[in-house]
Structure 1
Amino acid sequence: MAQNTPRVSSRIDSTQMRIGEQLRYQIEIEADSTALVVFPEGQTFTPLEMVEATDIDTFRNKDRFNLTRKYALTQFDSGHYTLPRQKIIINNKEFYTDSLQVTVSDIPVDTTSQKMYDIKPLAEVSNNYSGWGKILLWALIGLLVAGALVYWFFIRKKPLSDAEKEALLPPFDRALLGLKKLEESRYLIQSQYKEYYSELTNIVRAYLEEEIHISAMESTTEELVARLELLQQSGKLNLEKPTIDNFKNVLKKADLVKFARSRPETRAAEEDRKVIENVVVKTREAIPEPTEEELLQQEEYQAKLERKRRKKKRVLIGITAACLLLITTGGAVAYYGFYQVKDTVFGHPTRELLHGEWITSEYGYPIITLETPKVLRRAEVKLSNAMKKVISTNQTFVYGNFTGNFHVSASVTTLREGVEFRVEDAVQGAIATMEQQGAKNIIVKQDEFTTPSGKKGSKVYGNLDITTPDGETIKGEYIMLNFTEKGAFQQVIIVHKQDDRYAKDIENRIVNSIDFKTQ
């Protein structure tokens, strides 16, 4: 059995140090190879500050393990300090190391070789926005990139290609330009009559389809000519009959060239192009002036097209902005973490407390000093007749409540002369008060506690269930620090939700700020 019992030992390289130097504190555990061992974590060495903790060094000795972990500790105030016992959990059982006395010495200063100056007054320090600075910098870069992309693709006037410029021309100018290019082409020189007449008829058909709104591209020669004659007879197209006949002859000749492999003379082909050019000019002259109703319809159509273009531009800008927001958010989440970004954007009550402006105040008498995110307000505590016989004065200061996001209270109690005082009774009374305020299933753990300034007290802590006015049960944590300074009893109680990401940092900062006025 003795061999199976874990062995815990600790040692320190020196019990004396200078301000700012580091001590090496080592914990050694000999336990069974199947044992579950939990070493101290965090700032459990108060009043000394842990700078670094090494990885656990494991050495196997037959069926047992020797586990060693080293800690670097420091202190920046001179004095005599007690390094508290450290708790090690082995298979759910608690083991403690011995406490040690450490002396921190001042660094000698030669005051004869340098001048002495008065203490400088307090200076206002602006809030630290270094983290936000990076976010804003990347967001600004992203906005500039997105703005440049939006300008380049959607806002700036892009230079048009020759094909785009030609497509923007009116149908008449486009037809004349196409005929001019056909005249300068090499189709006739290379005896490519089929290609020549195909392009010639396509130019005039496309013009008629756009200008007088008839289905010319899909129509046969007879159908196209019939439609032109019908428009002429109805008075919608003032085109002379010889012009229609010349146009019909050219279309028939083109059909023979394209489908019967006819080979006309080059001079005749050039004359046919001139005939088609004349048809285009005469057709434009033959179109009646649009009525006022038609002009209104065209204006409405153009306005509709403009609205569509604007809507498309807005949609594209919205998509670009959404992509930018997604990229910026993803980068921030990858760099800072999801909850940090979420709480920064949407807010989190305890995060605002942690990163807000903290206040250091003095409460009660004998004075207890605390640094808190908000000033504690005086609360009236009704004392029963039995308590009035024991308590001389009670001063209680509170922020928040049990069912809120964060609760902290500080009380200073003085007793009447001749009254025997026990801290355990005061703790039980505080727990009873917590139960009256909605706390249930309170788990009580107790340990010794020493403030950074060396004031000793007791720490009661654990978990509890909090019942809200709506009947909801919330898992919470609490810590109760008890001191007896200058003949009075001082107590600080902190209660917060168990799963709160920022509450523990607030709690540690408040606890480390506790001090008492000696004068």
Structure 2
Amino acid sequence: MKKQIYLLFLLLSTAVFAQQKQVVTSIDTLKNKIGAEFKLSIKTTVDPSSKVIFPKLKNVGALEVIRSYPVDTAKIDGRYELIKKYGLTQFDSGRYVVPSIKIFIDSKPFMTDSLLVEVANVQVDTLKQKMFDIKDIAPAENPIGNWWKYLLIIALIIGIGAFIYWFLKKRQEKKLQEAIIKTPIEKATTLLDTLEKKELWQKGEVKAYYSELTDIARNYIEEAIEIPAMESTTSELIQGLRAASVKKKMTLSQEIIENLERVLKQADLVKFAKSKPLDFEITEDRNKIQKVILTLDKSIPVAVEVEEDTLLNEAQRQKQIQIQLQKQRKKRIITAVASVLFLLLATTIFLIATKGFDYVKDNLLGHPTKELLEAEWVKSEYGNPGVVIETPKVLKRVDLTKTLPKEGMALIKEMQSFAYGSVLDHFYLMVSTLKFKQETEIDLTKSMDGILQSLESQGAQNMIVKQEEFETKEGVKGVKAYGTFSQMDALTKSSAKLYYEALLFSQEGGLQQIILMHEEGDKYGNEISERVLNSVELKQVTK
């Protein structure tokens, strides 16, 4: 694309002059109501090779241009009849002059006739005319954007995932801590401590307290002494305990067995006869159960294990604990990640349903030209004759002199070019200026044709071209070409359709050029192009 102005310098030539041609001016009505449209028509007949430029107007005298109609073309006796219409209006009553308008035929100026029109008041009958309330104030668009809302949603979702991970970790650690208790006595002791922390009987829940207290004792006896304590009645449990003590050669005193039997019977009375022991009796029963458990544990004969077997069992136990911890950690991570992904998916589906797919894609996944549009723009002056322009990024100097033929360079005194991006990235912006060694009258239309032919020589296909006059805020006039073309990517072998806009200005001994390209249908690219072209300011040539 650096060669795109290659043919421009070969096609620069002096302006083409033609004979005086007649310009006919007419208007559809000389009197109209306030706000109604006057249609101003300008007609001229020219040769097929002639170039006619109708001005791009915002106002004609005191009248506002509300519409610029396309040029109607008709071929009559080998010549072309061109008719350009402008829609004019005025919102104040009175008489107004439609002044002469300058058009260019083969670069020569021609003036239209001036006309006098009248704008009449519209009488309003408030008794028949329906009245409407004043509209509410429309909210202004937020210049900061809504990006912080999406960031907050993502942070919230991640926070929910972290909470789920923490909650599962605490729950699994608690279960593991309960699972890795080594002996029945440790389990019973821990459960007794937990029961006291609940303070059930202090809260009046005596039945629940005795139920848990006796269950702890029965569970211990069943696990340590191996008798069906949970399924036995009080008398059956005592008989089984006496038999097991003889069989296992346990040294149990009569007092211990009687204390256990007394507490179990007390619990039966509380659960089934609604008995209510006194506070000191409850404390004594708890102490008796604890003493019974400790005494039973000490009375159970212990087989002496070989030290190596003990170390081996401990090592295996620790290994099993580590394996269990790893499984639990993996499960926590999977659950937390799945929760976050589910919330993200649900949020994305909601946004797509309410905002649309393109909105979600551009805001969450990102869009190159959207990022350019929302970047901090830079206003700078480039080249000589100077072009002041506002761009999303600073343009970098590029050297195009080596790509031009020697014949073209022989005519050029000074040439400067600045660019950003590339056609392969589907976004390109270039500003070029040059000064000629000799004063030359330039035909901008033919020069623009050279630029477009250069694009075609660089691979642009199926090019659609539209041309019109362009005027800067300072009143400097130039030529604008815009349209679309297809570009083949040599690497991916795919074709992309690009939209382009090119501006060309001529000043004393100098030429100024601006080219913008982006992917067709890219709304952010369209906004960038509009903002860039609206910011164009041209500096006068310094000799």
Whichever residue aligns with residue 352 of structure 1, its letter is E
State the partner residue of 2:534: 512
CA shift, 1:209, in A, is 3.1
1:357 to 376, 391, 410: 376
C-alpha contact 2:484 2:500 (8 A) present in aligned 1: yes
State the partner residue of 2:188: 171
CA distance in 1, matches of 2:295, 2:302: 14
Deviations 1:206-225 (A, max 9, x none): 22333356776579999999
CA shift, 1:326, in A, is 5.7
CA shift, 1:170, in A, is 3.3
CA distance in 2, matches of 1:361, 1:226: 100
Relative to 1, partners in 2 of residues 1:298 and 1:231: Cα closer, same or farther, differing over 3 Å? farther
CA distance in 1, matches of 2:365, 2:205: 69
CA shift, 1:436, in A, is 2.1
CA shift, 1:493, in A, is 1.5
Q: Does residue 395 of structure 2 align to residue 375 of structure 1?
A: yes
Relative to 1, partners in 2 of residues 1:300 and 1:403: Cα closer, same or farther, differing over 3 Å? closer
Q: Does residue 348 of structure 2 align to residue 348 of structure 1?
A: no
State the partner residue of 2:471: 450
% identical equivalent positions: 28
How many aligned positions are there? Answer: 396
State the partner residue of 1:501: 523
More relative contact order, 1 or 2 (CA 8 Å, 6+ apart): 2
Q: Which secondary structure does the structure 1 equivalent of 2:528 belong to?
A: helix
CA distance in 2, matches of 1:374, 1:458: 25
CA shift, 1:366, in A, is 2.3
Q: Which secondary structure does the structure 2 equivalent of 1:130 belong to?
A: coil
CA distance in 2, matches of 1:8, 1:149: 75
CA shift, 1:498, in A, is 0.8
Whichever residue aligns with residue 383 of structure 2, its letter is G
State the partner residue of 1:473: 495
Q: Does residue 422 of structure 2 align to residue 441 of structure 1?
A: no
C-alpha contact 1:176 1:277 (8 A) present in aligned 2: no
CA distance in 1, matches of 2:232, 2:317: 26
1:425 to 429, 446, 449: 446
C-alpha contact 2:420 2:429 (8 A) present in aligned 1: yes
Q: Does residue 78 of structure 2 align to residue 97 of structure 1?
A: no
C-alpha contact 2:499 2:517 (8 A) present in aligned 1: yes
Relative to 1, partners in 2 of residues 1:8 and 1:334: Cα closer, same or farther, differing over 3 Å? farther
Deviations 1:73-108 (A, max 9, x none): 9xxxxx999966834689xxx985247889xxxxxx
Q: Which secondary structure does the structure 1 equivalent of 2:451 belong to?
A: helix
Q: Does residue 155 of structure 2 align to residue 131 of structure 1?
A: no
C-alpha contact 2:382 2:418 (8 A) present in aligned 1: yes
C-alpha contact 2:484 2:498 (8 A) present in aligned 1: yes
State the partner residue of 1:42: none
Q: Which secondary structure does the structure 2 equivalent of 1:86 belong to?
A: strand
State the partner residue of 1:271: none
CA distance in 1, matches of 2:338, 2:488: 46
1:86 to 67, 81, 88: 67
TM, length-normalised to structure 1 = 0.55
State the partner residue of 1:207: 220
State the partner residue of 2:385: 366
CA shift, 1:410, in A, is 2.2
CA shift, 1:468, in A, is 1.5
Relative to 1, partners in 2 of residues 1:222 and 1:97: Cα closer, same or farther, differing over 3 Å? same
Q: Which secondary structure does the structure 2 equivalent of 1:284 belong to?
A: helix
CA distance in 2, matches of 1:10, 1:150: 78
1:283 to 296, 308, 311: 296
Relative to 1, partners in 2 of residues 1:390 and 1:311: Cα closer, same or farther, differing over 3 Å? closer
Relative to 1, partners in 2 of residues 1:298 and 1:151: Cα closer, same or farther, differing over 3 Å? closer
Whichever residue aligns with residue 508 of structure 2, its letter is K
CA shift, 1:421, in A, is 3.3
Q: Which moved more, 1:492-501 or 1:299-308?
A: 299-308
C-alpha contact 1:400 1:406 (8 A) present in aligned 2: yes
Matches within 5 A, 1:102-113: none
